[in-house]
Amino acid sequence: MATILMIDDDADFSGLASVHFTKLGYTVALAQNGKEGLAKAIALKPDLIFLDIVMPEMNGIEVLRELQAADETADVPVIVMSGKYFDSGMIEIFTQERNCRAFLGKPVALAQLQEKVEALLKK
C-alpha cells in the first residue's frame, strides 16, 4: 500500500493520524520539522505528504516550495494542514502551488482526512 510522510511538529496529532493510517494498511513516516521532512521526502519518495504550516527549522510554504523544486518530490501530492487561523488569502497562496492538493484546518477529523487521501491516491 501507499506511503504517507507526515511533516508536523504536533506529536499528538501525528501520533493519532499515524496509528489511524497504519491500521488502514498505509506505511507512515514521521518528521518533526521541515528540514527533516525534506530529507525524508527525498529518501522515501512517499506517495503523499501531510504538511503542517507552522514548524521549527522551516515553515510549511518553504517546505512546499522545496518539495516542488526537487525532481524526486515535485509530483508528490501534498495536503497542507494548520491549527492556526488563516484567511482565504493565505489558503489561496498555498493552493496556487502545484503540489498542494488540499488545505485543511486542524483539528481535522480523521475520517475527512482519510477521504482526501483515498481520493488523491486513486488518481
CA atoms within 13 A of residue 82's CA, in its CB half-sphere? 16
| Architecture of the domain delimited by 3-122 | 3-Layer(aba) Sandwich (3.40)
CB of 60 closer than 8 Å to CB of 82: yes
The pLDDT of 35-47, averaged and rounded, is 95
Q: Where are the domains of the chain?
A: 3-122
Give tens-digit pLDDT for 61-107.
899 999 999 999 999 999 998 876 566 666 676 666 678 888 888 88
50 Cβ neighbours under 8 A, 6+ residues apart: 4, 5, 6, 7, 8, 17, 78, 79, 81, 113
DSSP classification of residue 22:
H
**Of the listed ranges 12-21, 35-44, 93-102, the one predicted with least confidence:** 93-102
State the pLDDT at residue 35: 94
